[in-house]
Structure 1
Amino acid sequence: MTTTTDYSQLFAEDGTILRHPDRPKPRYSPTRAIKNFRLLMKDKEDTSLVFKIFESLPSKDFLPRVRDLTLSERGQALRLSEPSLPEILDDHAALRKTPKGSLGHAYCDFMESEGLTAAGLVAEAESLDRPKYDDLLQWFMDRTRDTHDLFHVLTGYGRDALGEQCVLLFTHGQSPSQGHLLIGYAGAANIKKMAWGSKAPVIGAANQAKRTGKGAPRMIEQSIRELLTMPIDDVRAKLRIPEPTQYRECHRIWREEGIDPYDLLSSEANNGEAVPA
């Protein structure tokens, strides 16, 4: 495969350009990333800050990873069979027809219990009014976004504060990025601060999540349609995803200490004591 770094001169067999020439090139700026992270800690609902952090910490390996997948035979086959994951993931009627115990059933259970949809994640991203480009990079980034909740289901990490940090660090293992590391580990440190004095192995859980992601075949390169029909235990075995033992140990210890893992800031969870800010 060519090693050229002019990605605007690379095309898939169907003529789709790898990187549209009008797409702005990200500029590396740790200072801007830290500034936006501090803002994120003050307003965790402002997802636009997450994008700004990632844009400020671009990975040198990102575009080569996009190139290697999208220009390969496998990548081009995935683009044909799975051009848009939300259409597949939100068709719960079809997913419920897969065998009991499948990833498809587990995914439906998770999304329905949490009141989530894949389309909702797309809408949230598009509400930021960021430009989109007709290139292979857009498909790759959309696919990365759309597999986020599948990561939750397969890894066993919930949507609590620690679970979200662990998913970020698992994602870093899959697709290394300083943005994942910054948000994941700084977020884990903040959790330790919120649960001050707890014996829960928060950093151990974060480290385990990163190792698991690094040791697993990349989800983005898999046929999601095929995985959804398989028994979830078989998918975990195929992707080498073990039990999240450290994360579950954190939850066990917190509950013994009277701390609610899903509400670390509640005064009741901390036995009426103030949590250090």
Structure 2
Amino acid sequence: MTRTVRNAYTEMFAPDGTVLLHPDRPAAKYRPMRAVRNFQKLMKDKEDTAAVFKIFESLPSKDFLPRIAAFALSERGEQLRASEAWLPDILDDHATLRKTPKGSLAHAYCDFMEAEGLSAAGLVAESDRAGRPRFPDLVEWYINRSRDTHDLFHVLTGYGRDALGEASVLLFTHGQSPSQGHLLIGYAGAANIKKMVKGSKAPVMSAVREAHRIGKGAPPLIEQPIRQLLERPIDEVRAALRIPQPHQYRECHRIWQAEGIDPYDLLASSKPAEPELLAA
């Protein structure tokens, strides 16, 4: 991005005076080797969320700022920024979310987060571990909103927190907000899964390609009124957002279970059997 184009974004403001791009925010740098190193860390520990954020930072999208400008400076963006300035406070208030009718997205979200021992605040803390500086601009709001809707993606798509589920969610996200980071983690992660369970008949690549297609066909979740979606029946929200069932992902799980492979512990599944077990 040229300095002239970048400067133009520092002169765009929301009606309340918030600048689109703070002039002190460092220009994004394309650092593929840093991305690869952090991807290797992620393959060793899929819970290393800080590595995920560093991958995204290292592979900036060329249309990132135009995408933020189109949304954040729109009437809808202005409304959402006023009503949902900080999503973690909404998403972590399970007491309020549980007051919605049974079968709502809110109940499904609370069930998921409580079962997994997760919180929106925890994801914020993981993001902070990456050491990214913060600035009072619309870019910050957009980045935060992208991060804070990640677990909602899991709930709406039906992809779990196993390795294939995470790769699928990231490719679904790429379909909505393209970036090379999503592609790297999604497709390279899927290839690594196939390597770990070599010989399995599970359609791993078909599963992640399906996720990618679904993401492209669904309206961007980040641009939806999250508070309102949480109050609605989850099946109704899925229909409205054109998110079908993840058939190929579930087929992978079905086949793995038949093959004696634990989808949530593929590293253990790929280890050679102990000598005493072979002898038996």
Aligned residue runs from structure 1 range 43-192, under 5 A: 43-192=45-194
Q: Which has the higher helix share?
A: 2
- Which residue type is aligned with residue 36 of structure 2? I
Q: Per the alignment, do residues 236 and 44 of structure 1 end up closer, same or farther by CA in structure 2, a change over 3 Å counting?
A: closer
Q: CA deviation at 1:270?
A: 7.2
Provide Cα deviations, 1:74-97, integer angstroms capped at 9, x if missing partner: 100000000000111111111111
- Which residue type is aligned with residue 71 of structure 2? L
Q: 1:30 aligns with which of 29, 32, 36?
A: 32
Which secondary structure does the structure 2 equivalent of 1:9 belong to?
coil
Among all aligned residue pairs of Structure 1 and Structure 2, give the percentage whose two residues are the same amino acid: 70
TM superposition score normalised by structure 2: 0.92
Q: CA deviation at 1:43?
A: 4.9
CA contact (8 A) 1:259 1:269 kept: no
Corresponding position of 2:225:
223
Provide Cα deviations, 1:188-212, integer angstroms capped at 9, x if missing partner: 0000011110000000000000111
CA distance in 2, matches of 1:157, 1:270: 28
CA contact (8 A) 1:169 1:181 kept: yes
CA distance in 2, matches of 1:31, 1:129: 18
CA distance in 1, matches of 2:271, 2:40: 25
TM superposition score normalised by structure 1: 0.93
Q: CA deviation at 1:158?
A: 0.2
- For structure 2, the residue ranges without an aligned partner over 5 or more in a row are none
CA contact (8 A) 1:258 1:269 kept: no
Q: Per the alignment, do residues 11 and 41 of structure 1 end up closer, same or farther by CA in structure 2, a change over 3 Å counting?
A: same
- For structure 1, the residue ranges without an aligned partner over 5 or more in a row are none
RMSD, aligned CA = 2.0
Provide Cα deviations, 1:136-184, integer angstroms capped at 9, x if missing partner: 0000000000000000000000001100110111110110001100111
- Which residue type is aligned with residue 75 of structure 1? G
Q: Per the alignment, do residues 163 and 267 of structure 1 end up closer, same or farther by CA in structure 2, a change over 3 Å counting?
A: closer
Q: Per the alignment, do residues 103 and 44 of structure 1 end up closer, same or farther by CA in structure 2, a change over 3 Å counting?
A: closer
Provide Cα deviations, 1:230-255, integer angstroms capped at 9, x if missing partner: 00000000100000000000000000
Provide Cα deviations, 1:28-71, integer angstroms capped at 9, x if missing partner: 23344334323443454543332332222111111111000110
CA distance in 2, matches of 1:43, 1:255: 22
Q: 1:210 aligns with which of 212, 222, 228?
A: 212
CA contact (8 A) 1:263 1:269 kept: no
CA distance in 1, matches of 2:228, 2:274: 49
Q: CA deviation at 1:264?
A: 1.1
- Which residue type is aligned with residue 78 of structure 2? Q
CA distance in 2, matches of 1:24, 1:75: 24
CA distance in 1, matches of 2:259, 2:125: 39
Q: Per the alignment, do residues 272 and 191 of structure 1 end up closer, same or farther by CA in structure 2, a change over 3 Å counting?
A: farther
CA distance in 2, matches of 1:27, 1:119: 28
CA distance in 2, matches of 1:154, 1:187: 21
- Which residue type is aligned with residue 212 of structure 2? K
Aligned residues: 272
